[in-house]
Amino acid sequence: SIRRARTVREAQMIHAARSARVEAPFLYFVGDRDATLVMEHVAGTRLKDAISRGRGEKTEALFRLLGEGVARLHASGIMHGDVTTANVIVRDGGLVFIDFGLAARTDRLEDRAVDMRLIKETITGAHPDVSSAALGSLWEGYGGVAGGDELAAVQRQLGQIERRGRYARVE
């Protein structure tokens, strides 16, 4: 019953993401009885690998798109829960978000900031050579969709999260 509930929730989150104009795999079949999802195979390159191969303006453009996509999810009340450069596919110049297994419906500022914290941690940990420019582009994309007030609120909350004892500050 737990697998069934999680499978149905993931399908709902993928559908909600697509409704929010965020690219996600197309769902062909949701088997709630046997906890099965049949979905599109997303051909492309993981964002993680694209960053390792590319530099400069292309990388910044990809992170701007990432910020825009996450802002659309958040504006629709969706927290992805596992936004990393391994869970985003670059396809035809755009981004496809995958792995909505930890996604949830939420309007909490804390949850939006936690999503952004994970992205920030991934960028600085896995892509340190481009982290400064990538973070700037990420925030630019996020703010362009969410607006300045929401951007400031998420950044303030992120700062509070980072000041908590269990998190090390990531610059």
Residues 119-137 have pLDDT tens digits of 999 999 999 999 999 999 9
Q: Which pLDDT belongs to residue 165?
A: 60
Q: Which pLDDT belongs to residue 166?
A: 60
Q: Which pLDDT belongs to residue 170?
A: 56
Do strands 104-105 and 27-31 pair parallel, antiparallel, or not at all (unpaired)? unpaired
In whole angstroms, give the CA distance from residue 37 to residue 40.
10
Name the E strands within 22-147. Answer: 27-31, 36-39, 45-46, 78-79, 88-91, 94-97, 104-105
Q: Which pLDDT belongs to residue 163?
A: 86
Active site residue 129: no
Catalytic one of 32, 49, 82, 149: 82
Q: Which pLDDT belongs to residue 90?
A: 97
Q: Exposed e or buried b for every residue in 9-20, given b needs 16+ CB within 10 A?
A: bbbbbbebbeeb
Q: Which pLDDT belongs to residue 141?
A: 98
Q: Which pLDDT belongs to residue 91?
A: 96
pLDDT in single tens digits along all 171 residues of the chain: 888 999 999 999 999 999 999 999 999 999 988 899 999 999 999 999 999 887 667 999 999 999 999 999 999 999 999 999 999 999 999 999 999 999 999 999 999 999 999 999 999 999 999 999 999 999 999 999 999 999 999 999 999 998 886 655 555
The angle, 0 to 180 degrees and rounded to 10, between the axes of the packed helices 57-75 and 148-163 is: 90
Q: How many CB atoms lie within 10 A of CB 69?
A: 26
Give Cβ neighbours of residue 44 (< 8 Å, ≥ 6 apart): 89, 90, 91, 92, 96
The three-point CA angle 94-99-103 to 5° equals: 110
